[in-house]
Amino acid sequence: MPVAGRPADAGHGGGAARAGVSRVPRRLPRPIRRLLRDRVAVIAGIVMLVALAVALLAPVIVPHDPFAPEPMVRLQSPSATHWFGTDELGRDVFSRVLFGARISLQIALITVSLAVVVGSTFGLIAGYFGAWVDQLIMRVTDIFLAFPGLVLAMALSAALGPSVQHIAVALGLVWWPGYARLMRGQVLSVRSQLYVEASRAVGGSAARILVRHVLINAFDPVAVRATMTSGYAILSGAALSFIGLGAQPPMPEWGVMVAGARFYILDAWWYPTLVGAAIFVTILAITVFGDGLQDAVDPRLVQPGMSGH
């Protein structure tokens, strides 16, 4: 049964529903059925799963030691032995890219989890209680939003010290206001629903109402935003590592690898190109899947006859 207070399904999301497979098991929830009908989103989801599997299995599946230098084979072009060539120290670039996926997805997980937990909590409190509580929390978010996000993340990372965990925490602390505002807007539309009023009338506590009725019905847009933000977290983490505020050599993090490869872009074009391609494909897959997920969760956002992409 649908969760109380959710709007009725508004069709199959236009072209996004017609763009993919026509036969999807009807036992699945409607948003999942709409998502599975979107072939582009499904392909992007498969790429995401492959990236996740690579990240989890990287220590087992890498063909070469990503940390062991071999000066005799430095800057070799791609071959059957070294699929992505070798770097300036003779290390296998393909193995380092696979291992780098593990680090980049770790950054995305910590960043988005922290931003969602902190932002959703404050947004939930602000939207439900209103009055001076709402004003106080929103003014705090205004202070954070007054600074350019990446510049503030750079300052926090520099203060905490260079490490993967520190840049993830810095990005999470910078991004929570966006989630707080999104959650607050959803709560403002949910708290006046009849099922919330009925729960208040029978003496339900504020905590119970917030968790069982408000949060569960306001969280869908937050989940979609979290998915789409994960790609930007990977890109921002790589950018901070590129300028020396995140991961440090010899760690095979993608930003660190691009920073080292920029000196050899003319002599060993494959080195920066293939590392950059790994970043591009991963972020593109996450973004496209997030777009498809948004269309599936709220089909009203999709124009009739359009696929939503």
Helical packing angle, 93-129 and 131-145, nearest 10°: 150
Domains identified in the chain and CATH numbers: 15-74+89-301 (1.10.3720.10)
pLDDT tens for the chain, 309 residues: list them. 444 444 444 444 444 444 444 455 667 677 777 888 889 989 999 999 999 999 899 889 989 999 989 989 888 999 999 999 999 999 999 999 999 999 999 999 999 999 999 999 999 888 888 789 889 999 999 999 888 888 999 999 999 988 899 999 999 999 999 999 998 988 888 877 777 777 777 766 677 777 777 777 778 888 888 988 899 999 999 999 999 998 888 889 999 999 999 898 888 898 999 999 999 999 999 999 988 888 887 655 443 333 334
Q: Which amino acid is at 100?
A: G
**How far is the C-alpha of 240 from the C-alpha of 222, rounded, in Å?**
25
The predicted structure's pLDDT at residue 1: 42
Pick the closest to residue 84 from 101, 97, 71, 72 (CA basis): 97
The predicted structure's pLDDT at residue 30: 75
Six-digit token string for 7: 């709007």
The predicted structure's pLDDT at residue 84: 93
**How far is the C-alpha of 285 from the C-alpha of 43, rounded, in Å?**
8
The predicted structure's pLDDT at residue 5: 44
**How far is the C-alpha of 88 from the C-alpha of 160, rounded, in Å?**
30
Backbone angles phi, psi at 86, to 5 degrees: -125, 160
The predicted structure's pLDDT at residue 302: 43
3-state secondary structure of 134: helix
> Residues 308, 105, 153, 119: what is their CA dihedral angle, to the nearest 10 degrees?
60
CB 108 within 8 A of CB 237: yes
**How far is the C-alpha of 309 from the C-alpha of 295, rounded, in Å?**
9
Six-digit token string for 302: 């999709």
pLDDT digits (tens, 9 = 90+) for 186-200: 888 887 777 777 777
CB 239 within 8 A of CB 245: no
The predicted structure's pLDDT at residue 186: 85
Taking phi over 0 as left and psi of -120 to 50 as alpha, with beta for the rest, 69 belongs to: beta
Residue 61 DSSP class? H
Backbone angles phi, psi at 245, to 5 degrees: -100, -5
| 55: number of Cβ within 10 Å | 20
Helical packing angle, 270-297 and 220-242, nearest 10°: 170
2, burial (CB in 10 Å: exposed 0-12, middle 13-18, buried 19+): exposed
Tokens 């508004």 sit on residue: 10
**How far is the C-alpha of 124 from the C-alpha of 29, rounded, in Å?**
26
The predicted structure's pLDDT at residue 290: 87
Tokens 């498809």 sit on residue: 292
